[in-house]
């Protein structure tokens, strides 16, 4: 049994004490220890972006980051974006524009979009495409996702 | 209650998917996210040989790993196969026929324990000669894979119409070519997953990703030695399917074996590598086509031999000629046609069903052959196609009745919208002039069933509609939701009929113990079939409500309508009563009490194939014509798709947002097939089982898209709609290939057009030119 490490991490605004093994990924910690199953395990090697969360204001592939690295840091997941019962504007834009089919990539897309818009409030088409290039969607062909990012940027 | 309510329609409007909000904020519990109390994790030890005798399996060390609860091998199972021809026992005994073959399954308390146990399983093999090429597998004396399949022959198809020999004599030009189309796979974002759970009566609940829940029970039961009636299928949300969940695959009965042995729920979930290497592929094929034309441009004949690599076992891939042949015989007017196919067992992966189902392959051939034939008779690609396009009322040799044929209109529209001929001629003239970047434009067209396909005894779907005291409707449908958006379409159709808001409708379609039968999500059938069933069930509820309203007012039922939650007078929209209040009056009417609960089972007016594969298998057909505009970098071989213009016969748009999404997503699959996606398989082993080396499209490569939907109500479709989900997948690759030819004058009979392949062909062409000079 690996030795457990105790970390304190702020997840979606709430301080959490979590006991993790040194090899545990942020993704598995979120999903298995904290029941935050929004972020998805799709490839496990940082190629698809479905596990994207925001750590201290930067989007990361949570499958590639160790949970122990979170000690003292802040994580936002797709479950933490809403400040009220209403969907967050990025989430609402994905719904409105039909950018969600099977939805498995959506949490990662929403988080990456949130990150993109936090750095660049009015991205042009090229900046949106480049901003999302690490996130794979197999259903939509991206057209409606790009439209959703535009709506979120305008709103 | 006096304000008149205007008649409006939801049909053709954009409706967002009812499940989208929960998917947007992480609330949706996909099957992969599910954890049941006491649930174990199951994993599979697979063969690492393409073809070998299994001499021994030693699981003693694995069993000693703490937390391991069960280990099963073929000896613990009934050894009854799954798959289309039942040739695939879930766990293999004595012989392995491919790298993916399942040998041992382990269930344990944690993933770590199970991984550790898998690594400690010792298997001794004796290698046997492996065969990877289907032609080799059919040679005399080739090692036989299955005892009951002499000559390694799996499934074969043949359809013969007219006199090919005479037609060839009557032809001025005959094209004779071979095409090789490749392996691609679905790449569902949600990895394969199943949870098996027995109750104390011995009844089984399967939480599965299946897209055909009812026949799934029938197909699964024999491999378990169970009665199908003792299996309940629950379908939690899934991360994509695209045809990959239309059969029973070994991991599903394996989860059941483990659950049975441990008397605990067992979840089997694939890694991404397994998702690539142990899921079905699209069917690869080698086509030998001979096609004739007269100097005036009239098509004379098509003669096609298809050789399919069946792989080690049989799933739906081997049946894709069923669809291929409809295109070879029926796309454009060709009087004399023959199609023969053979699928040969090899030690390769096997193919399943995949959006487009054989038509992606067949259309790559027909659409590029049409271009070649046009060139042979010095006609342009548009006039040549228009001349040979069928008209409404024509019947194909296999008896597909083209009652509403809009092929010509699709071609004319797309040619006009893209200024096709002007661009085509300009780019053609530039082919051999200097310059690194060459532009090209290409057209391709397709033909596909759009009103289901009668390949089972029934192509039907059932619906139950219940209205409560508040005029909220529960719609229970057999149709599965796999991301495609049938939830929105059925909600829209029922809301339209009942005059209630879409948000007052709850759709239930994830439990085989509740929902009425449906054959499954395939063949672009769900909007058409489930849509008709929902519409008819809703119409019955509507009639019941209107009759009750007529009895309680002085207005005849025929003069009433349902709008905005009210019963209104049809002519002026003046409300007569609220629907919810009427429903309560009906419900609490003492001896005459009635609830509004209606049901319908819709069977489309299509027929199964008879002899020679003749039969009008679909209630509707659709054509499309797409144009690709590309830039070829002649230094690197990179083909950039700048724009795709798609003209599609859709009957009638039901959900605008949904149909656009299906088009955009389907085109992405088609682009991948044509340009970047390819499973690299060496010695039976998949060498690129990851997103790095298997290239699916990402946002920067998404081309500009322009759609034109041709709406001409189908007489049998719900509100005139046809099913189109597969169609956009079929056409892009050959449109791109034709555009590349227009740009650089090189044909590719072997997609995908990767930079390496294109660059090599350009170098070869230049070398040949230099040599000739």
Domain ranges of chain B: 20-27+460-602, 34-128+189-241+245-277, 285-453+610-772
B497 token code pair:
């009929």
pLDDT band at A55 (very low <50, low <70, confident <90, very high): very high
Q: Which pLDDT belongs to residue B773?
A: 86
Beta partners for B475?
B465, B507
Task: Look at A144 and B237 and tell me if their CB atoms are within 8 Å.
Answer: no
The C-alpha angle with vertex B404 and arms to B341 and B361, in degrees rounded to 5, equals: 25
Q: Where are the beta strands (DSSP E) in B273-418?
A: 285-293, 299-311, 336-345, 394-395, 401-402
In angstroms, the CA B174 to CA B162 distance is 17
DSSP-derived letter for residue A30 is: I
**Three-state secondary structure call for residue B254:** helix
Quick check: do B20-27+460-602 and B34-128+189-241+245-277 share a fold? no
In angstroms, the CA A131 to CA B217 distance is 44
Domains of chain A: 5-79 (3.10.20.30), 89-154 (1.10.150.120)
Q: Which residue has the tokens 């295109």?
A: B327
B298 token code pair:
């009239």
How close is the nearest chain A Cα to the Cα of B242, in Å? 9
Cβ(B654)–Cβ(B531) below 8 Å: yes
Chain B CB contacts of A139 below 8 Å: 189, 240, 483, 661, 665
Beta partners for B648?
B624, B709
Listed in sequence order, the residues at least 6 apart from B183 whose beta carbon sits closer than 8 Å to its beta carbon are B281, B282, B284, B349, B351, B678, B679, B681
CA-based max dimension of chain B: 98
Q: Which pLDDT belongs to residue B228?
A: 98
Q: How many helices (H) and strands (E) does chain B have?
A: 20, 30
CATH number of B285-453+610-772: 3.30.365.10
The count of CB pairs under 8 A between chains A and B is 174
Cβ(B70)–Cβ(B261) below 8 Å: yes
Nearest CA in chain B to A103: B23
Task: Look at A101 and B485 and tell me if their CB atoms are within 8 Å.
Answer: yes
Listed in sequence order, the residues at least 6 apart from A56 whose beta carbon sits closer than 8 Å to its beta carbon are A73, A74
ipTM surpasses 0.90: yes
**Three-state secondary structure call for residue B302:** strand
Q: Which pLDDT belongs to residue B415?
A: 98
B220 token code pair:
């699964």
Fold for B34-128+189-241+245-277, please state it.
Answer: Aldehyde Oxidoreductase; domain 3 (3.90.1170)
Q: How far lies B9's CA from each of A96, B162, B500, B708, in Å? A: 20, 48, 11, 21
Chain B CB contacts of A137 below 8 Å: 189
Q: Which pLDDT belongs to residue A1?
A: 53
Work out the end-to-end distance of chain A between its first and last CA atoms, rounded to an integer number of angstroms: 50
Q: Which pLDDT belongs to residue A155?
A: 77
Fold for B20-27+460-602, please state it.
Answer: Aldehyde Oxidoreductase; domain 4 (3.30.365)
Cβ(B742)–Cβ(B173) below 8 Å: no
DSSP-derived letter for residue B188 is: -
Task: Look at B33 and A37 and tell me if their CB atoms are within 8 Å.
Answer: yes
Q: Which pLDDT belongs to residue B404?
A: 86
Listed in sequence order, the residues at least 6 apart from A79 whose beta carbon sits closer than 8 Å to its beta carbon are A12, A36, A38, B25, B26, B27
Burial class (CB in 10 A: 0-12, 13-18, 19+), A16: middle
Q: Enumerate residue ranges in chain B where pLDDT < 70.
A: 1-2
Q: CB-CB: which of B29, B665, B690 is closest to A43? A: B690
Task: Look at A143 and B242 and tell me if their CB atoms are within 8 Å.
Answer: no
Task: Look at A96 and B16 and tell me if their CB atoms are within 8 Å.
Answer: yes
CA B168 to chain CA centroid, nearest Å: 35
**Three-state secondary structure call for residue B382:** helix
Q: Which pLDDT belongs to residue A13?
A: 97
């Amino acid at each position: 049994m690996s030795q457990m490490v105790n970390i304190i991490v702020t997840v979606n605004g709430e301080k959490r004490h979590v006991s993790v093994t040194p090899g545990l990924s942020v993704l598995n910690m979120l999903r298995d220890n904290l029941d935050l199953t929004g972020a998805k395990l799709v490839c496990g090697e940082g190629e698809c972006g479905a596990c994207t969360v925001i750590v201290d204001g930067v989007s990361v592939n949570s499958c590639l980051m160790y949970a122990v690295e979170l000690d003292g840091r802040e994580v936002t997941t797709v479950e933490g974006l809403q400040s009220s019962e209403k969907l967050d504007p990025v989430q609402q834009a994905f719904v409105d524009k039909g950018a969600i089919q099977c939805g498995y990539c959506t949490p990662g897309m929403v988080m990456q979009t949130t990150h993109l818009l936090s750095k660049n409030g009015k991205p042009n088409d090229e900046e949106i495409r480049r901003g999302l290039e690490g996130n794979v969607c197999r259903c939509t062909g991206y057209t409606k996702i790009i439209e959703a990012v535009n709506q979120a940027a305008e709103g | 209650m006096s304000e008149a309510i205007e008649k409006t329609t939801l049909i053709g409007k954009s409706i967002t998917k009812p499940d989208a909000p929960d998917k947007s904020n992480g609330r949706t519990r996909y099957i992969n996210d599910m954890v049941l109390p006491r649930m174990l994790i199951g994993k599979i030890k697979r063969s690492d040989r393409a073809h070998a005798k299994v001499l021994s399996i030693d699981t003693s060390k694995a069993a000693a790993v703490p937390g391991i609860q069960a280990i099963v091998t073929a000896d613990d199972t009934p050894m009854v196969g799954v798959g289309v021809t039942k040739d695939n026992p879930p766990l293999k005994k004595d012989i392995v026929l491919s790298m993916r073959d399942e040998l041992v399954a382990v269930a344990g308390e944690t993933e770590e324990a199970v991984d550790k146990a898998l690594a400690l399983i010792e298997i001794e093999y004796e290698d046997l000669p492996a065969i990877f090429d289907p032609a080799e597998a059919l040679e005399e004396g080739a090692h036989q894979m299955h005892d009951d399949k002499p000559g390694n022959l799996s499934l074969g198809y043949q359809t013969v119409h007219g006199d090919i020999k005479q037609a060839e004599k009557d032809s001025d030009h005959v094209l004779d070519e071979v095409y090789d189309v490749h392996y691609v796979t679905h790449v569902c974002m949600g990895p394969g997953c199943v949870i098996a759970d027995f109750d104390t009566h011995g009844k089984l609940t399967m939480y599965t990703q299946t897209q055909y829940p009812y026949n799934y029970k029938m197909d699964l039961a024999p491999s378990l030695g169970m009665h199908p009636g003792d299996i309940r299928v629950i379908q939690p949300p899934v991360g994509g399917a695209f045809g990959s969940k239309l059969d029973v695959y070994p991991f599903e009965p394996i989860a059941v074996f483990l659950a049975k042995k441990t008397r605990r729920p067992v979840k089997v979930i694939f890694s991404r590598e397994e998702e690539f290497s142990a899921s079905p592929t699209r069917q690869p094929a080698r086509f030998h086509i001979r096609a004739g034309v007269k100097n005036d441009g009239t098509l004379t004949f098509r003669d096609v031999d298809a050789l399919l690599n069946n792989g080690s076992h049989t799933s739906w891939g081997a049946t894709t000629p069923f669809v291929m042949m409809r295109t070879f015989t029926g796309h454009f007017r060709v009087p004399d046609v023959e199609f023969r196919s053979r699928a040969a067992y090899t030690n390769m992966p096997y193919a399943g069903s995949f959006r487009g189902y054989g038509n992606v392959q067949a259309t790559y051939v027909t659409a590029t052959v049409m271009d070649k034939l046009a060139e042979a008779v010095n006609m342009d690609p548009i006039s040549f196609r228009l001349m040979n396009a069928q008209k409404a009322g024509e019947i194909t040799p296999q008896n597909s009745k083209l009652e509403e044929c809009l092929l010509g209109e699709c071609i004319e529209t797309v040619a006009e919208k893209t200024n096709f001929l002007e661009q085509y001629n300009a780019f053609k003239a530039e082919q051999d002039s200097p310059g690194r970047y060459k532009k090209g434009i290409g057209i391709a067209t397709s033909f596909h069933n759009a009103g289901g396909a009668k390949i089972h005894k029934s192509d039907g779907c059932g619906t139950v509609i219940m209205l409560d005291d508040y005029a909220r409707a529960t719609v229970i449908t057999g149709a599965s939701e796999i991301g495609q958006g049938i939830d929105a379409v059925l909600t829209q159709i029922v809301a339209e009929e009942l005059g209630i808001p879409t948000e007052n409708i709850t759709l239930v379609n994830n439990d085989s113990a509740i929902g009425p039968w449906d054959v499954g999500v395939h063949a672009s059938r769900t909007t058409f079939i489930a849509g008709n069933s929902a519409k008819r069930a809703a119409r019955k509820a509507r009639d019941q409500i209107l009759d009750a309203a007529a009895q309680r007012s002085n207005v005849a039922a025929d003069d009433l309508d349902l709008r905005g939650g009210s019963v209104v007078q049809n002519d002026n929209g003046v409300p007569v009563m609220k629907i919810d209040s009427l429903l309560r009056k009906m419900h609490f009417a003492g001896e005459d009490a009635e609830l509004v609960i209606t049901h319908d089972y819709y069977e489309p007016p299509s027929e199964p194939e008879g002899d020679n594969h003749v039969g009008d298998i679909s209630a509707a057909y659709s054509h499309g014509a797409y144009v690709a505009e590309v830039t070829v970098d002649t230094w690197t071989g990179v083909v950039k798709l700048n724009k795709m213009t798609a003209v599609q016969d859709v009957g009638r748009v039901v959900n605008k947002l949904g149909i656009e999404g299906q088009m955009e997503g389907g085109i992405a699959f088609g682009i991948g097939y044509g340009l970047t996606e390819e499973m690299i398989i060496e010695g039976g082993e998949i060498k690129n089982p990851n997103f790095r080396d298997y290239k699916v499209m990402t946002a920067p490569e998404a081309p500009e898209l322009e759609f034109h939907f041709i709406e001409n109500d189908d007489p049998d479709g719900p509100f005139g709609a046809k099913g189109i989900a597969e169609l956009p997948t079929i056409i892009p690759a050959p449109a791109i290939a034709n555009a590349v030819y227009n740009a650089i004058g090189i044909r590719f009979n072997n997609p995908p057009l990767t930079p390496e392949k294109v660059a090599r062909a350009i170098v070869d062409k230049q070398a040949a030119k230099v040599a000739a000079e």
